Amino acid sequence: MRFPTWLLAACLLLPISAAAADLDQLLAEVKRQQTRLSQVDRQREARFLAEKQRRQQLLAEAKARLKALEKQAEDLKAEFETNRQALLELEEKLQASSGVLGEIVGTVRQVAGDLKADLQQSLVSAQYPGRAARLAPIADSKRLPTLEQLQTLWTLMLEEMTEAGKVVRFQREILASDGKPFETDVVRIGVFNAIAAPGYLRYLPETEQLMVLSRQPEGKPLRLARDFLSAQGDRAPVAIDPTRGVLLEMLTHTPNVWERIQQGGLIGYIILALGAIGLVIVAVRLTVLWRVGKRVEAQLEEVEQPRDDNPLGRIFLTALGAKSTDPETLEALLDEAILREIPPLERGQSLVKLLAAVAPLLGLLGTVTGMIQTFQAISLFGTGDPKLMAGGISQALVTTMLGLAVAIPLLFLHALLASRSRTIILILEEQSAGLVSQILEKHRG
């Protein structure tokens, strides 16, 4: 690179021209600088000292404050201690003076809890819903009950007591047995039962509602209940469930007639079918015999005009149509005619008798098969669960019952049939000969 020549020359020339004069100046300058510096140093020292003093003062102040605070802490600690002592004493005093009260509060809480459970289950709550909820703050809270709450407690108690002894009629929405709500008149009998137009009601504690029992008690109790609902005057008889609904509840578990028959199983159906067949036969035979009997009686009234629409008349016709009146021939003819007439009269009877005899036997068969099932259940599950065995046993008994239920009417009806046909047959066997003789004697004059 190439510097400009004039610039280089200027640089070399400058110091040489001022050299002698400047050294003095420099010295003076240095001396002046030295005095200035020492002055600055002194000033700084003074400042530092002042600062130090100030700090020391601050320190002293802080120390004094610490001391003061420590003293304050000491004081407060002492005060705390005395206060604690006082508190302890007061607490002790409180404990001593509230000892009986604590027990009372516990009792109140327990009573409230019991009453709450009672009210939840009580039928009266269906009339006045929400009572149990009012007791919840007393029974569940840890605080002392207020005066108002205590009053609630005993008012509810008294209310339950008086309501338990009343028969009341009130309007309320109840549930039908299929769950549909409807408004109706309800009569509550104490805490035992509630009755509405459809019959006895069931109380549902969960929703404080009334529901119609799905199966009403049969016969008299239900009739009494319905009469009671519409009864006028002071008193009327009614059937109540003293177990507060347990018995009525039981009722919904017991099977009705059809369910009972189903318990009998296949053999039960067979027995019933046989019974139905027997009844049909009996009905047919009874009408036939009744008609024949009427005709025979009519024929007995008019011995002179034999008709062929009845057995007696046919026997007369046979006897009177005989070519000879020789007693022996006549007797033989009559016997033959009678023998011809008897079987149609006795038709079906042996079958009815057979059915009446077979039905109890089938029932026995059903019993045995039911017992076999029961014992199988025992061998599988042991005797621990009586319910398991009871089901099988009742199944066994149902067939026996069905057998008897079929046999008894069939036997009765068979007896009716037999006595009816027997009467007619006796007339044919023992009286026709006499009647024929009577006619013949008359003809001969």
Partner 1 sequence: MTMAWIEAVNDFIAQGGTVVKLILVAAVMLWTLVTERYLFFLWVYPRLQRQWLQRWHQRRDKHSWYALKIRERLISEARLQLRRTLPLIKVLVSLSPLLGLFGTVNGMIHMFDALAVFGTGNARAMATHISHATLPTLAGMTLAIAGLYASQRIERRVEAATRHLSDQLHFE
> In the complex, which residues of this chain contact partner 1 (CB under 8 A)?
250, 253-255, 260, 327, 330-331, 386-387, 390-391, 393-394, 397-398, 400-401, 404-405, 407-408, 411-412, 415-416, 418-419, 422-423, 426-427, 429-431, 433-438, 440-441
Q: How far is the CB of 139 from partner 1 (least distance, A)?
A: 31
Residue type at 401 in one-letter notation: M
By C-beta, is 122 or 349 nearer to partner 1? 349
Asked if 245 and 193 touch (Cβ cutoff 8 Å), the reply is yes
- In whole angstroms, give the CA distance from residue 424 to residue 299: 12
* Long-range contacts of residues 127-133, Cβ cutoff 8 Å, at least 24 apart: 127/163, 127/168, 127/170, 127/172, 127/186, 127/188, 128/159, 128/163, 129/208, 130/208, 131/156, 131/159
- In whole angstroms, give the CA distance from residue 380 to residue 256: 29
Q: How far is the CB of 156 from partner 1 (least distance, A)?
A: 33
Q: How far is the CB of 412 from partner 1 (least distance, A)?
A: 6
By C-beta, is 126 or 407 nearer to partner 1? 407
By C-beta, is 308 or 430 nearer to partner 1? 430
Q: How far is the CB of 309 from partner 1 (least distance, A)?
A: 22
By C-beta, is 145 or 264 nearer to partner 1? 264
Q: How far is the CB of 403 from partner 1 (least distance, A)?
A: 9
By C-beta, is 266 or 390 nearer to partner 1? 390
Cα–Cα distances (Å) from 101 to 96, 139, 140, 218, in that order, read 10, 16, 18, 55
Q: How far is the CB of 121 from partner 1 (least distance, A)?
A: 20
The pair of three-digit structure tokens given for residue 28, joined into one six-digit string: 């003076």
Q: How far is the CB of 238 from partner 1 (least distance, A)?
A: 17
By C-beta, is 255 or 382 nearer to partner 1? 255
Asked if 124 and 160 touch (Cβ cutoff 8 Å), the reply is yes
Q: How far is the CB of 307 from partner 1 (least distance, A)?
A: 20
Asked if 277 and 355 touch (Cβ cutoff 8 Å), the reply is yes
Asked if 312 and 345 touch (Cβ cutoff 8 Å), the reply is no
By C-beta, is 4 or 219 nearer to partner 1? 219
- Nearest partner of 309 among 293, 323, 320, judged by Cα: 293
By C-beta, is 181 or 255 nearer to partner 1? 255
